[in-house]
Homo-oligomer: A and B are copies of this chain.
């Protein structure tokens, strides 16, 4: 059996090595257009910033090491230019010599990845991207002399690039067409990341686009000119599906190769994995792009099993992702609120701001966590978290709970490892479960930060149940202060009509809401409390955000 694999990074190389472990006798050829295989693509920004000091750390394998260990025929700088699925051959071009040759296959795996999108702007040829080792070499060279940089796109890679340019002492501006950084997150969850970036001296130009790139500046859509010795394009990636398309393979709605749950394309004996394929979404089952290294690795191993005849299938994708931004971490799994809204799908949102570990143990820091729940089934639809220590843990636990079909309200039952330096007796994840359970059973109703204005407009009385000191330090306009501990005695001070209660993070508000409800009042709690509101409310005035919530 002869297997040809096109693309020798995450998905392709996982497929090749697993295939060797399953089929010692197979001929396995890996054709890689670039100079390197199996490099650490997620480490590239950190090499630019000097966090990873040595270039060789990025190069995990070489064609020689792969030949020795796995008897793989790995050919770098060989680009596949044509695919004939009838004759089962590919045409490869040796880039150094220009020689073209035909390589037959019994089974073919496409792992061609995705390319950075570079819009056709004047001066676009000066824009750098960051997908492979050649890119990083160009970037490191350009960064050596640069005093200013513009990063276009504030997605995960744009944010990582920005952090690392700032580490090199380069004055950096981020230009993002959307109204927020980290578009996969919801706006109120991304806001702390934007604040952190601004605190580090980064200029954020949200709702802005580039119109041209000149010698050492760029021009934005509002006409302003920004210094830019260096321009990095990080507005997104596009599946490298041209070869597949030219060969007549079915392409999905997002431009990726269509595969079934055994990673088979529309052509017999042709499989595809990684960033180039459309994956089945875990929430809605729709076809979606999830360009993540871990997903590519997983699919690479899986396609080897499929080719070897094992009874496996590719599970749907949640799209769990994480990014470090200086001292902050932001992470998510599943769907965001905005995605649910855009799809017209009903949901409940929960915000909370727990400490990463017990407050009485030194060093506890707050994080913000958001959970999205299906109101019919109690299923977890998605989760987001932003903060310091422990954000990665909570998103991993929530991603696992989602994968395991644990209902949102049962998160309260999870037995998570507790000692005061690691968590709380009621872990942030358990707290989400308690809140979800209160919502599910109707024990407490909540109002979202963006619903507050409407609630007040319809006559709700706003009651801040925090301490007088907290109230004095800043509250929501129009609120009266009745501290929770006095509420039982002073409830009659609240005029007749609906009551909207809030505290700092939602927990005292929950007790207050239960108390008022039991006193016969029509009371609801502000979800996530003053903290969510304070983070999010200013954003509501942004022209690009407002339509989402009205």
Contact = CB atoms under 8 A, between A and B. Distances in A.
Interface stretch (A191-199, A318-326, A336-344): A318-326
Contacts of A519: 24
Interface in A451-465: none
B324 A412 contact: no
A228 B99 CA distance: 82
Interface stretch (A81-89, A200-208, A413-421): A413-421
Interface in A308-363: 310, 315, 317-324, 329, 331, 333, 358, 360-362
Contact of A71 (B58, B397, B488): B488
A435 B390 CA distance: 27
Nearest to A517: B24
B403 A403 contact: no
Interface residues of A, number: 90
Interface in A398-416: 399-401, 403-406, 410, 412-416
Contacts of A406: 400, 403-404
Interface stretch (A106-114, A117-125, A254-262, A425-433): A425-433
Interface in A229-271: none
B415 A42 contact: no
Interface in A373-389: none
Given A71-B488, A392-B422, A519-B24, A415 B401 contact: no
Interface stretch (A145-153, A292-300, A529-537): A292-300
Given A24-B518, A400-B397, A422-B322, A69 B485 contact: yes
A471 interface: no
Contact of A360 (B23, B43, B298): B43
A397 B421 CA distance: 18
Given A310-B441, A322-B422, A360-B52, A298 B430 contact: yes
The 6 closest A-B pairs by CB, nearest first: A404-B404, A322-B417, A24-B518, A68-B485, A393-B393, A320-B415
